[in-house]
A and B are shown apart, each in its own frame.
Chain A
Amino acid sequence: MSKGVGVDLEDVCIRFGDFVAVREANVSIKGGEFFSFLGPSGCGKTTILRAVSGFLEPSEGRVMIGGKDMAGFGPNKRPTALIFQNLALFPLMKVWENITFSLEVQGVGKAARRKRADELLEMIALTGQGDKLPSELSGGQKQRVAIARALCAEPDVLLLDEPLSALDLKLRQHMRTELREIQKRVGITFIYITHDQGEALTMSDNVAVMRAGIVDQISDGHSIYNDPATPFVASFVGENNVFRGKVKSINGDHAVIDTNRSGDLVARIATSAKGSLNIGDPAMMFLRPEACKIATDTSAAQNRLTAKVLHEEFEGQIYNVFLEGAQGKEIKMSLVNVGQERQSKHSNELTLEYNPDQAVILPAGELASE
């Protein structure tokens, strides 16, 4: 099977009338990479994918596949295969006919198609089910048929539009690993779209986080999570306690902000904000619930907070403790369940502390709405 080729979006803008769905997207995807677009509903993920697969021409900018400008090439002329949000299996064709549709339109004979279908059915662990209709398959099986159908076309780039969103949690987790395995086996470029951050982080080599038509950050999952580029990314990916304030002092990699309600707090300056953050600027500090610890030393410090326990949720491997800081500031803390004493006593006064390297400071900006 052909090795994956790269996909580049250069200054791509896509407009529907006056509405700008995608704004100056610059994305470079390497060949053979598992790349995800992550973003809330309606942020333009599908639109980007349709521009790559050729159903849409960008209003501005270029879509390059394998270094070749794709302008003027229709979807049937591009080396891409798209797995649709709703799968779009052909309901009147049997499973094996679905899988080999791309061969049928090339005029490949029936026997050869049947043979290829059987190979692919074996790969997706559906041997012997080729004569069923799609309506006779389970959700996960349909999913795999859609993947086989796309792979049968031997694309250089496989595009997947939230293919797992319709599945239940167990199956979704199972399909994640399966997809990742298939990708490793065939070695072609996967461009994967999702609004589920868990999916994006577990499967991808690189993730692009989108907000209302703008690509905010492109990075590997680790950096996205630990070193967000914008307040939007910080609040959209995973959970964060947000502290608003003004920059009070900068000391190398770290800065202190004067928060509105919780006093002075210290944290690491995010990579994207280094050099551009000045004293007095409005800023935000993001503190992950799991970065909070209960302090044994209760003296005041720039990495300590006092708070009262409101209530507690038990999730098995962790406790979520909801606290109320100074002036009603809500704080969430997650503690790993290692059999310690629980903090559920109401109004219990606690002192929290965190490692300043595990919290980030960013210039103030738009947050992801809950």
Chain B
Amino acid sequence: MKSENFLLKFFLVAYLVVFFGYLLGPLLVMSVTAFNSPSFPKLTPWECLTFEWFDVLAQDERIITGLKNSLIVGFGTVILSVVMGLAGALMLTQIWPKMRATYYTIVIAPILIPGVVLGISTLVFWDRVSVMLGFGSGSFFQNGIFLTILGQSTFIASYCMLVFVARLQRFDTGLTEAALDLGASNAQAFRKILLPFMKPAIASAAVLAFLASFENYNTTTFTFGKFPTLTIELAQKVRYGIDPSISALAFIIICLTVIGALAHEVYRRRQQLALNNGAPLSAVTGSFQLPKFLRGNPAAIVLVLISLGGFTTIWFSQVYSPKECILDVREQKRILQDLRIQDIKRKRLEQQKATQGTQSTAPANSSTLPQSPNKGAFGGVFAPDNLNKETGKKAVPQSPGKGAFGGVFAPGNLDKTGPQDKKSD
């Protein structure tokens, strides 16, 4: 009985570990690689703790503009989608009951249509419109931001509509009638009664729309024109090889998400707590009280810990310099390599002695010098960046072959040495 219980618990724990490992593992690994010094994102071998990838990220023009474009597009999409979604949802409540199912299917369809199709059709449609209206190429209708906002909104508006419909179903139309009866105009009834009721739904729809817009790739890839968004930039970057600055970006995004989720949870719990304590509803929505909010609220404590952690990290990054560590690692690698070379030399010498040197000096000569291209080729295949970094810095002309291989696998690495050195000064 007892052992059975134990077994059950064991499996439960094992299952949870596997489940959360599967869910969060990749994110965790990605985050950790942002702090490792090798210029290809990796967890092992752990070399040096570094914050330089955040600097690299901050100086990456393309990422920054991509982010800016994403924010602009996200903002536009939120506004357009929320407005269209709300209008669509209101329409659903107004339309003749017989038409309702048909209408619903039509407005929900964009969610079911692949994003790729939406992207292409947006591009083609507005191009036609532009041509029909007699605008040349590069007109407003072919502007990447305009097209991306429209393209994304086609389906994001449907998401928003679903959120609104769910909320509207709980709306008592009697309230609007009561407002009208008390002398309100239709616009007043909408603004003073329906909108406040819809406010929570509008907030969630806006967040949803922003997130959906921010992460969208399928549709955007056809419409971005001269304004690549962050996802587009990332995809292009990955195509030409990546470095841990992407991990750094991922880390920042993950942190923001976690903090946002926790903050929401804290807010929710605080309300719940206050309600349970018998506070009137009107007081709960009121002002902010810090001491009470920390009491008996794990989410709040976690949030405080995280922000403390964040601040110490930032402070630490200002003080700490990985320069010495990186030099150390380099030195160690060099020593290791020297040792290996000497080892090989010795072995060859022994071999030579054993064969009693009928083919006198020629092989002995070659054994010292051309050995490196061979090794470079192999090294390039198995661990391109490691070796590459060293050679890139110290002995660039030493082995062209090595450089070539390294370049294939991680082109950015050679470039990165520049800013890297600059920063450590």
- Where the two chains meet, the residues of A that have a C-beta atom closer than 8 Å to any C-beta of B are 53-55, 74-76, 80-82, 84, 86, 88, 90-92, 94, 101-102, 104-106, 131-133, 135-136, 149-150, 153
User: Does B281 lie within 8 Å of A135, measured CB to CB?
Assistant: yes
User: Does B184 lie within 8 Å of A101, measured CB to CB?
Assistant: yes
User: Does B182 lie within 8 Å of A105, measured CB to CB?
Assistant: yes
Pairs across A and B, CB under 8 Å, 10 listed: A76-B181, A76-B185, A80-B181, A84-B178, A90-B179, A90-B193, A105-B188, A136-B282, A153-B182, A153-B183
User: Does A90 lie within 8 Å of B184, measured CB to CB?
Assistant: no
- Chain B: how many interface residues by the 8 Å CB criterion? 20
A208 to B213, CA, bound (A): 61
A364 to chain B, nearest CB (A): 41
Contacts of A74 in B (CB 8 A): 180
Q: Does B425 contact A (CB under 8 A)?
A: no
Contacts of B393 in A (CB 8 A): none
Given A88-B177, A88-B178, also A133-B172 (CB < 8 A): no
Q: Does B196 contact A (CB under 8 A)?
A: yes
A315 to B307, CA, bound (A): 72
Q: Hey, what's the 0/1 contact readout for B38-68 against A, CB within 8 Å counting as 1?
A: 0000000000000000000000000000000
User: Does B184 lie within 8 Å of A76, measured CB to CB?
Assistant: yes
Q: Does B134 contact A (CB under 8 A)?
A: no
A136 to B172, CA, bound (A): 19
User: Does A133 lie within 8 Å of B280, measured CB to CB?
Assistant: yes
A54 to B183, CA, bound (A): 12
Contacts of B197 in A (CB 8 A): 92
Q: Does B305 contact A (CB under 8 A)?
A: no
Specify which of A53, A84, A94, A153 is in contact with B282 (CB 8 Å cutoff): A94
| B196 nearest in chain A by CB position | A92
B150 to chain A, nearest CB (A): 34
Q: Does B26 contact A (CB under 8 A)?
A: no
- Where the two chains meet, the residues of B that have a C-beta atom closer than 8 Å to any C-beta of A are 172, 174-175, 177-185, 188, 192-193, 196-197, 280-282
Contacts of A86 in B (CB 8 A): 172, 174
Q: Which 7 A-B pairs have the closest CB atoms?
A: A88-B178, A102-B182, A88-B174, A105-B184, A75-B180, A75-B181, A82-B181
Other A-B pairs, 5, CB within 8 Å; known A54-B181, A101-B182? A90-B179, A101-B192, A105-B185, A105-B188, A133-B282
Given A92-B196, A136-B281, also A84-B183 (CB < 8 A): no
User: Does B175 lie within 8 Å of A106, measured CB to CB?
Assistant: no
| A159 nearest in chain B by CB position | B181
A233 to chain B, nearest CB (A): 31
| A101 nearest in chain B by CB position | B182
Contacts of B280 in A (CB 8 A): 132-133, 136
B312 to chain A, nearest CB (A): 42
A83 to chain B, nearest CB (A): 9
A74 to B175, CA, bound (A): 16
Contacts of A94 in B (CB 8 A): 282
